[in-house]
Amino acid sequence: MRDLGVGFGYLLKGQRWVTRHGRRYGFGLLPGLITLVLYAAALVALALWGEDAVGWATPFADDWSSPWRGLFRGFLTAVLFALGLLLAVLTFTAVTLLVGQPFYESLSERVDADVSPDGTAPESGRPLWRELWISARDSLRVLVRAGLWGVLLFALGFLPFVGQTVVPVIGFFVTGFFLTEELAAVALQRRNVDLRARLALLRSRKTLVWGFGTPLGLAFLVPFVAVFLMPGAVAGATLLARDLLGEENAGDDSAAPGGRPDTEDATP
């Protein structure tokens, strides 16, 4: 269980790193803000017209007597919005990383260089368009896996007692795992670690992954928090990826190579 604390420690170290590199933190906020606006608009639309959509999809309930028709459609509307919210939580990171690929790639490289003994960061050697394609393709594949888990957990949620206690806890751990995969992919993709190998790597240290991703997933449920935590989450996931691969860290992760303060990115 020690790995749980280590994983959480990487989450905190990542946030500390970005607070000491103010300019990179500021640029790292932009993709999250753009994605947040898009998701907020989608959820507002779902809240406003979700009931109409449910009514259109359930014409067989038109002749039901009151209050059963209202209760049935009200329940389905609530379920539809809950699924939309869950989908937003699961996909927010993937979409934000895709929108902000150049920002987060640069941030992750700088973290690697800061903690690498020789002050260098691994490079994939691929052009940006290729990186974007791989990121989008892998994110879709991860989303399918996460969606299957979501459907299973939703079905199990109807079980008495277990559905209201155990299933939500499992859901948070599942969310934390896939959230960590998306974030660590920024650093691991640069090292040419494909999706299958990434998933195997994360499964080999599940408690480490849960310690990082589960509290982050819980924090992401709070409106706007995800936007401000994303840059630090990418930084922390880079440190976690180095741990998974057994790469050596030199000195404090908040310092530049050689232990000197990073004056280029420090806040005034």
Q: Closest Cα partner for 77 from 69, 67, 87?
A: 69
Are 241 and 50 spatial neighbours (Cβ–Cβ below 8 Å)?
Answer: no
pLDDT-wise least confident of 69-83, 173-187, 213-227, 245-259: 245-259
Are 89 and 225 spatial neighbours (Cβ–Cβ below 8 Å)?
Answer: no
Q: What is the DSSP letter of 65?
A: P
The model's pLDDT over 94-147, given as tens digits with 9 standing for 90+, comes to: 788 878 878 888 899 999 999 888 888 887 777 777 777 887 888 788 878 887
Q: CA 258, CA 148: separation in Å to the nearest integer?
A: 46
Query: What average pLDDT does the chain have?
Result: 82
Answer left, alpha or beta for residue 161, where phi above 0 means left and psi between -120 and 50 means alpha.
Answer: left
3-state secondary structure 208-251: HHHHHHHHHHHHHCCCCHHHHHHHHHHHHHHHHHHHHHCCCCCC
136 vs 214: which has the higher pLDDT: 214
Q: CA 52, CA 127: separation in Å to the nearest integer?
A: 45
Q: Is the peptide bond before 59 cis (omega within 30 degrees of 0)?
A: no
Query: Above 50 in pLDDT, residue 259?
Result: no
The model's pLDDT over 41-60, given as tens digits with 9 standing for 90+, comes to: 888 888 888 888 888 887 88
The model's pLDDT over 133-172, given as tens digits with 9 standing for 90+, comes to: 887 888 788 878 887 887 888 788 777 787 778 888 888 8
Classify the C-alpha dihedral 47-34-121-5 as positive or negative. negative
Q: What are the structural domain ranges in the chain?
A: 2-248
Are 236 and 212 spatial neighbours (Cβ–Cβ below 8 Å)?
Answer: yes
What burial class does residue 169 get, using C-beta atoms within 10 Å of its C-beta: 0-12 exposed, 13-18 middle, 19+ buried? exposed
